[in-house]
Amino acid sequence: MDKTLPTLPKGHVSCLSDAFRYTRALETDIAKTFARVRDGLLREEQRAVAHRLLLAQRKLASNRTS
């Protein structure tokens, strides 16, 4: 059996780490959390769309020169 622990995404701290700090539910703002996640997903999607557009433009330009 593999005994290695899974790695966490960059910026995340394991709850087993000394650096982990528990935040009580009363001290969180769930609306801000969801807004931050939505904004991140939107930026990610915008980058993906821009990348697809760039690839399409390059493909079109290469077809014109061929």
Q: Chain centroid to CA 56: how far?
A: 24
CB 31 within 8 A of CB 38: no
Give me the pLDDT at residue 59, please.
92
**3 state DSSP class of 57:** helix
Distance CA 53, CA 46 (A): 11
| pLDDT (average), residues 14-20 | 83
Predicted TM-score (pTM) of this structure: 0.54
Residue 38 pLDDT greater than 60, yes or no:
yes
Residue 64 pLDDT greater than 60, yes or no:
yes
Give me the pLDDT at residue 47, please.
96
Report DSSP letters for 18-33, one per residue.
TT-----GGG--HHHH
Residue 48 pLDDT greater than 70, yes or no:
yes
Give me the pLDDT at residue 56, please.
94
